[in-house]
Chains A and B, each alone.
Chain A
Amino acid sequence: MLTLRRLLQPTRHVAAHCDLPCGIYDPEQARIEAESCLRIIEKHDASEDPLFKGRCIHIKEERAELVKHHLDVLWHDYFKPEHLEAHPDLHDVFWQATKQASKVKQTLDVQAAKDLLAAIDRIDEIWKATGGPEKTRVQ
């Protein structure tokens, strides 16, 4: 019986592993940062204060970087091969959107910021089509 008990005593842990499965994703997160970029550019253009303009540029670059980060997380953590099958343009849509975020980071172009919002909205459509709102947000 001693042997049986020893046999049944686990010797090691095995992992039914999942990389940090918080499972919460929403393109809205990227969109809010992108909206900040647009507003900051407008405020920059309306201001005469060089110090304020300098802060605008600095903060806009931070926000644009966050857009890229949130899009990247969606791209490699949420989207799966079966989503790519249903939406063959997925990779290109993400590539164009993150490129657009780089453009917003580099410039003070209002139209570039609006185009970024449109690119994120396209990702949002795909996310919704894959059942994202039901699967990856707390109801």
Chain B
Amino acid sequence: MRTGAGFGLGFVLGLAVAWALGRLLRDLDAVVVDGRSMAPALEPGDRLLVESWTYRRRAPRPGEIVLAGDPRTPRRELVKRVAALQDDRVALRGDARLSTDSRIFGPLPVSAIRWRAIVRYWPIERAAWLSR
């Protein structure tokens, strides 16, 4: 027979774990890459794990692969690499020679960048950490 106190503690702990997990899962997402402008780092069909907790704490850093809304086509979400940070604006650039990025649409406000790519988990043989 469990005591009332033990049951209460388990309940609170369970609630805390559920809350933390829920929080974690909302800040984690998986996306699939279209297009070739990030080749060879990212190829079409690559699957990435992205997280949104880092940029709540700090600004994006050059070299990081991030997601951002296309300023010209709001419904499209882009994946690009941070090229430079100036004041509160971030210049994005594709790795490939042919890429539509900040050279075309200019730098974006820091607030436009929420998601950071951390892992390429698919295809499995190319699984890798993406932080540089």
Contacts and interface: CB of A to CB of B under 8 A. Distances in A.
A23 B94 contact: no
A9 interface: yes
B29 A11 contact: yes
A2 to B, nearest CB: 12
Contact of B35 (A3, A9, A11, A17): A17
Interface residues of B, number: 35
* Prevailing SS type, chain B contact patch: strand
Interface residues of A, number: 18
Interface string B22-53: 00010011111111111100101001110000
Given A7-B25, A9-B30, A11-B30, A16 B103 contact: no
B42 A15 contact: no
Interface in A78-110: 80-81
Contacts of A19: 100, 104
Contacts of B29: 11-12
A14 B31 contact: yes
Given A7-B28, A80-B103, A81-B103, A23 B34 contact: no
B31 A12 contact: yes
B37 A17 contact: yes
B78 interface: yes
B77 A18 contact: no
A137 interface: no
A8 interface: yes
Contacts of A50: none
A8 to B, nearest CB: 5
A28 to B, nearest CB: 21
Contacts of A81: 103
A17 B78 contact: yes
A98 B111 CA distance: 41
B33 A16 contact: yes
Given A14-B34, A18-B37, A8 B78 contact: no
A90 to B, nearest CB: 16
A17 B100 contact: yes
A76 to B, nearest CB: 10
Interface of A: 3, 7-19, 21, 23, 80-81
Closest 5 CB pairs of A and B: A16-B38, A16-B35, A14-B79, A10-B32, A21-B98
18 contacts: A10-B30, A12-B32, A14-B31, A16-B33, A16-B34, A16-B36, A16-B96, A17-B76, A17-B78, A17-B94, A17-B99, A18-B37, A18-B96, A18-B98, A21-B36, A21-B98, A23-B98, A81-B103
